[in-house]
Amino acid sequence: MSRLRVLSLSTLYPNDLTPNFGVFVERQMQAVAKRGDVDLVMVNPLGIPPFPLSLLPRYRALGQLTPAEQRGGVAVLRPQFRLVPGIGSHRNARAEARAVLPLARSLHAEAAFDVVDAQFFYPDGPAAVAVGKALGVPVSIKARGADIHHWGTAPATREQVRAAGLVAQGVLAVSQGLADDMAALGLPREQITVHRTGLNADLFRPYDRRLCRDQLNLPRDARVLATVGALIPRKGQRFVIEALAGLPGAILLLAGTGPDESALKSLAERLGVADRVRFLGAVPHGDLPIVLNAADVFVLPTASEGLANAWVEALACGTPVVTTPIPGALELITDPIAGRLVPRSAPDIALAVAAILADPPAPEAVSAVVARFSWDTNAAELVAHWRRLAERV
C-alpha cells in the first residue's frame, strides 16, 4: 500500500505554553504518525493580533514559539496570521489561509500532498478548502462540537462553515447527534461520516481511589465530585457549585482555567461552599487520571458538545458521569452504570449525584462502557477515510 501524504490544519494544538490546548488532536495525530503509513505534516496556525495588542504577555509569548518542531513524533509547523480578538472572527479563516498557503505550496512542490485535512470546522475548514483548491487535492474537515454549535450558527461565520462543508470532499463528525446538527445547517447528512474520539486506555483506567485521594490531600472517606474543562459558561461549572448545597460534605474538584474562574470563586463564597471547592488550575493531561479516579462522580452540565473527551476519559477511569441530555451524551450514557442525564439545574444535578453515591457501580463495569475507544482504532479509521478521498482523485 502506498504511503499517504497529508497536510493537516488545526488552530487548536498543544505547545509548551498551553500543553492541554487541543491535546486530543495531538493524541490522534501521534497515533497516526506511529502507524508508519502516513507522511503527516501538522500545521498549527497561531492567531496574533496587530500592535499594540501583540505586546500583551499572552500573545507575545505565543509569537515567540518556535515556528517548527518535532512534537511527540509529529512534525508541527506554526505560521502566524493576524486576528482581531472578539470582533474579527469572521476574517480568521481567510487570514489563516493566506498564512498557510505559501508554506503549503512550498511543501507540495517538494512532495505532493494527497489530502488537505482540517481538524475543526472553523476557522480551519474554510482555510483548508482554500489550500486544497490551490493545490488541487481533496479536502477533509472534521466537526467536534463548538465549531458547529457556535461558529456554525453565528451570523458572521455560519455561511463560511456551510460553504466549506458543501465543498469539502470528506466531512467527519465526532457523534451521530453532531452529524444531525450539521445536516440541520444544510450539509448533506449522507455525506457525513461519524469518527469518534480515541482513548489511551493504559493511562485512563481504574486506579486505587484511596491512593489517588492521598495524592490530592483529600480525605479517603469523602464524597468527591470532579469537573474537567475550560472555566467558561458553556461548561456549566456554576450549576455544580450550586448543587453542593444539596450534597452536604461533598468536595468538588475543578480542573481547568478560563475567564469564569473569579466568578465561580465568588459564587462559592456567596453560597458558603468555598471550603468544599478546590480549583486545581490547568492539570497536565497525564495527571487527569488521578483527579478522575479520586472522584465518585464526574459532573459536566455542558450546554453543548460533540462527544466530550472528558466523558470518555472519566468513564474509562471507572467514574460515572452526570451530564446533560445532549446528542453526544445520549449516545454514550445509555445505561445507569455509566451515569445520569439531567437538565442544567442544581437540584437535578444534586439528585443524580446522590443516587449514584447511594448505589455506586463497580469501576470495572463503568470502564467497560468505553472499552471500544482507542487511539489506534481512531487513527486507523481516519487514515482509511483519508485514503478513500485520495483514491477518488
The CA–CA distances, whole Å, from 277 to 121, 311, 379 equal: 35, 21, 38
Give 170's strand partners: 140
d(CA 378, CA 337) in angstroms, rounded, equals 25
d(CA 268, CA 275) in angstroms, rounded, equals 8
Q: Residue 1: pLDDT band by 50, 70, 90 thresholds?
A: low
Q: What total of structural domains would you count in the chain? A: 2
Q: Which residues contact 199 (CB under 8 A, 6 or more apart)?
A: 312, 313, 316, 370, 373, 374, 375
Q: Are residues 113 and 11 in the same domain?
A: yes
Q: Express each pLDDT in 361-374 by its tens digit.
A: 999 999 999 999 99
Quote the distance between the C-alpha of residue 67 and its chain's center. 23
Q: Are residues 353 and 382 in the same domain?
A: no
Q: Are residues 181 and 280 in the same domain?
A: no
- CA-nearest of 194, 167, 163, 165 to 179 is 194
Q: Does residue 393 have a pLDDT over 70? A: no
What local confidence, expressed as pLDDT, does residue 198 receive? 96
Q: Are residues 191 and 50 in the same domain?
A: yes
Q: Are residues 359 and 240 in the same domain?
A: yes
Q: Which residues contact 94 (CB under 8 A, 6 or more apart)?
A: 126, 127, 130
Q: Are residues 259 and 318 in the same domain?
A: yes
Q: What is the mean pLDDT of residues 224-230?
A: 97
Tell me the whole-structure pTM to 2 decimals.
0.92
Phi and psi, residue 96, nearest 5°: -65, -45
Q: Flag whether 303 is in a domain.
A: yes
Domain that holds residue 19: 4-198+374-392
Task: Answer yes or no: are the C-beta atoms of 99 and 79 closer than 8 Å.
Answer: yes
Q: Flag whether 62 is in a domain.
A: yes
Q: Are residues 244 and 141 in the same domain?
A: no
Q: Express each pLDDT in 285-337 by its tens digit.
A: 999 999 999 999 999 999 999 899 999 999 999 999 999 999 899 999 999 99
Q: Are residues 154 and 129 in the same domain?
A: yes
Extract the C-alpha cell encoding 334. Answer: 445509555
Q: Flag whether 204 is in a domain.
A: no
What percent of the chain is modeled with pLDDT above 70? 99
Extract the C-alpha cell encoding 366. Answer: 463503568
Looking at every residue in the chain, the average pLDDT score rounds to 95
Q: Flag whether 29 is in a domain.
A: yes
CA dihedral 151, 152, 155, 156 (to 10 degrees): 50
The DSSP result for 112-125, as a single string, is --SEEEESSTTTHH
CA angle 285, 286, 290 (to 5 degrees): 100
Query: For residue 295, what is the domain's CATH number?
Result: 3.40.50.2000
Q: Express each pLDDT in 338-363 by its tens digit.
A: 999 999 999 999 999 999 999 999 99
Q: Express each pLDDT in 260-273 by its tens digit.
A: 999 999 999 999 99
Q: Does residue 24 have a pLDDT over 90? A: yes
Q: Flag whether 203 is in a domain.
A: no
Q: Flag whether 231 is in a domain.
A: yes
Q: Express each pLDDT in 85-102 by its tens digit.
A: 877 899 999 999 999 999
d(CA 151, CA 138) in angstroms, rounded, equals 23
What local confidence, expressed as pLDDT, does residue 59 receive? 87
What percent of the chain is modeled with pLDDT above 90? 91
Q: Are residues 171 and 276 in the same domain?
A: no
What local confidence, expressed as pLDDT, does residue 54 receive? 85
Q: Are residues 378 and 364 in the same domain?
A: no
Q: Are residues 99 and 214 in the same domain?
A: no
Q: Are residues 240 and 340 in the same domain?
A: yes
Q: Express each pLDDT in 70-79 by its tens digit.
A: 999 999 999 9
Q: Flag whether 194 is in a domain.
A: yes
